[in-house]
Amino acid sequence: MRKKWGYVLGFVFILIIVTMCIGMGSNWYAAQRAQYYNNKTMVDLVHNHVPPIPHWVPEMMVWLGTLAFIITSFALSQPYQWIQFIVLFCILTLLKSIMVHATVFPTLHSYCDRPLFSPQGNCNDYMFSGHMMMVTLAFLFMWKNHTVSMCFMALYLIITALVITASRNHYTVDVVVGFVLAVLVFNQLNPKLVQLLQNKINPY
């Protein structure tokens, strides 16, 4: 059993490293492509009608949702769910590394205070929102575990999407696409991932 867990954890560790390298390289390349367009202005519904809010507000909401998932998964003794969450997050991040080049948006800031090779990304990796996909995944797992209701999940995610956009961290379309892709990947891949983990760790 321990040997099988070791293989699984080793695979997850390698997946994380590969995802980080590809993600940071992709973000850097997107920033290079966007240099000629950063002086452009795009029309965004939320940006035009909601005043800016501090950047720490969406960060707090995303990490509170993720922390709630961590606490509930430990409380319910779900040994597979952390691996499931990380693998799905990495798959979405790899997809984001492709999508960020499909449509390169101009920066929302007059300056960029992040280094090009940053795990947080830089000022042009907008499509799609990693914050939104992470908090959506966390709540989908909690909803599956019956630790949050559908109404609470919907309300929390709507508010989070609004504050992410209002903080000028993303355009509106970024958070919508991040939410939709997180739901699709969770619904389509998570059942297969559960079955795969159970077969690898508990084959009998």
Q: What pTM value is reported for the model?
A: 0.82
Mean per-residue pLDDT, 4-21: 74
pLDDT > 60? residue 204: no
> Which one has a higher pLDDT value, 49 or 204?
49
pLDDT of res. 44: 84
* pLDDT tens by residue, 138-181: 999 999 988 999 999 999 999 999 999 998 888 899 999 999 99
Report residue 172 CA to chain centroid gap: 15
Cα(204)–Cα(185) distance, integer angstroms = 28
Q: What percent of the chain has pLDDT over 90?
A: 29
Concatenated DSSP letters of 41-55: ----HHHHHS----T
Query: 182-204 as b/e, with b when 16 or more CB fall inside 10 Å?
Result: beebbeebbeebeeebeeeeeee
pLDDT > 60? residue 78: yes
pLDDT of res. 190: 81
pLDDT > 90? residue 27: no
Task: Of 58, 57, 52, 159, give the one whose Cα is nearest residue 108.
Answer: 52
What residue ranges do the domains of the chain occupy?
A: 2-201
Concatenated DSSP letters of 102-156: HS-PPPSSSS--S-SS-TT--TT--SS-HHHHHHHHHHHHHHHTTSS-HHHHHHH
Q: Taking all residues of the chain, what is their mean pLDDT, rounded to a whole number?
A: 80
* pLDDT tens by residue, 79-136: 678 888 988 999 998 888 888 877 777 777 655 555 554 444 456 677 888 899 999 9
